[in-house]
Amino acid sequence: MVISMPRGTQDILPEESRKWQYIEEKLRKISSDFCYEEIRTPMFESTELFSRGVGDTTDIVQKEMYTFMDKSDRSLTLRPEGTAGTVRSYIENKLFAQTIQPQKLYYVGPMFRYERKQKGRYRQFVQYGVEVIGDESPKIDAEVISLAYNIYKIFGIENIKVSINSLGNPEERRAYNEALIKHFEPRIHEFDEDCNNRLYKNPMRILDCKVDANHELVKTAPRLLEYLGEESKAYFAEVLRHLDALGVKYEIDHNLVRGLDYYTHTAFEIMIDNPEVELKTLCGGGRYNGLVKLLDGPEDKKGIGFALSIERLLLALESENITLPIDDTIDLFVVSMGEKAGDAAVKLTNDLRLAGYKAQNDYFDKKMKAQMKIADRYKAKLSIIIGESELENDEYVVKDMESFNQETVKRENIIKYLEEKLRGEK
């Protein structure tokens, strides 16, 4: 029986992997430009970290986590998201004591959720995310949203919009939750089982329900903004003012609550405005002022962040017919004729690689015509030909694979020649 990959996972083959490499390198460059530094946390953590940090009432904790007992009878979980682990690391490694605050961090790595497989949604998926932890400011909120927004713009995706809402502080949320319970309670039996379970545990999540999103009670539910105090309203207004200054297009979505329990104040999603795309949400995030304290860190340290799925970014690029400028060529293919020339080709290929060139040679002593065909398949810019006469004369024939022009180059001058030819150095 052929062993297949687990359901909900994918093999990313070389041709597709080039796209991933390009995207990840681009994300790292953008992060650096915005002065974010990379953090790498374990792929599995204590289960308690996610049950406390993400929230017992969330779908992630209740239904989607990959949890197991290790040999010491400890409950561990493959990370379903990146924020909780980043905050745990921030606390454990005392990053709050660093002279530069807030700490501006980013990560790229696999996450794991036991979800129903569909296009753009996998049980192992890759997230890029940022977290700004330490201080609170509307300017920080606007910067984080602007970073997420501009990532898609930089990749050429123009048909996007930011949905944004304020979730207020914990006291305002409690008052709002009470209002929602009164609103939904008389007819909660009309909703699905998940919404019934959320009514008393986390009624705001009913607004986030995908099954009953068009129910009239969802559309007529009280608005959270009506329950915000003056301070929260002023904070939200300042975030919007900064977004206006940064040129970020947004719309206020009164039903946007996000799926995680730790959010406070600013919450946002970036949506693709394309009717042909089934999964509209590309990215989501928000402020989590109480999470550091919840995980036993300093009470005054607050954070905000977002995460995006690279799988969904690839789908968005595809839907917008955007081709990534990926260079799939190599610099050089070394062609050899004869046993001695073959040995010399192995040595030359290695020298070229160590000099920083993408180089390949023939392994199987094929005829010259066959080797040139292989060079074409590799999309080589140049081929270097070594035969008996070239060995005797201590030289190489260098052929331009596009123009077919050939030049003879002395062996000791080959690196200098290639620097001029391929790198424009003199």
Q: In sequence order, what DSSP letters do the residues of 364-378 get, joined into one string? A: S---HHHHHHHHHHT
Q: What are phi and psi of 234, to 5 degrees?
A: -65, -40
3-state SS class at 408: strand
Contact 251, 240 (CB under 8 A): no
Task: State yes or no: 193 annotated in a binding site.
Answer: no
- What's the pLDDT tens digit per position in 331-352? 999 999 999 999 999 999 999 9
pLDDT digits (tens, 9 = 90+) for 67-126: 999 999 999 999 999 999 999 999 999 999 999 999 999 999 999 999 887 777 899 999
Tell me if 262 is assigned to a ligand binding site.
Answer: yes
- Gyration radius (Cα) of the chain, Å: 28
121 is in an annotated binding site: no
Is 83 known to sit in a ligand binding site?
yes
Q: In the structure encoding, which two tokens stand for residue 283, read together?
A: 């990215």
**Is 263 annotated as contributing to ligand binding?**
yes
Q: What is the sign, positive or negative, of the torsion defined by CA atoms of 335, 339, 341, 343?
A: positive
- Tell me whether residue 81 is annotated as binding: yes
Q: Per-residue pLDDT for 426 more than 60?
A: no
Query: Which stretches within 41-119 are classed as H helix?
Result: 47-53, 59, 83-92
On whether 116 is known to bind a ligand per the annotation, the reply is no
Instruction: Name the pLDDT band for 54 (thresholds 50, 70, 90).
Output: confident
- The three state secondary structure string of 172-236 is HHHHHHHHHHHHHHHHHHHCCHHHHHHHHHCHHHHHHCCCCCCCHHHHCCCCHHHHCCHHHHHHH
82 is known to lie in a ligand binding site: yes
Q: Is 131 annotated as a binding residue?
A: yes
Q: Find, among 76, 132, 179, the residue nearest to 301 by Cα.
A: 132
The token duo for 270 is: 């970036």
Question: Tokens 């909900």 map to which residue?
Answer: 8
pTM (two decimals): 0.90
Residue 378 is predicted with a pLDDT of 97
CA distances from 274 to 96, 280, 281, 318, 347 (A): 41, 8, 11, 12, 53
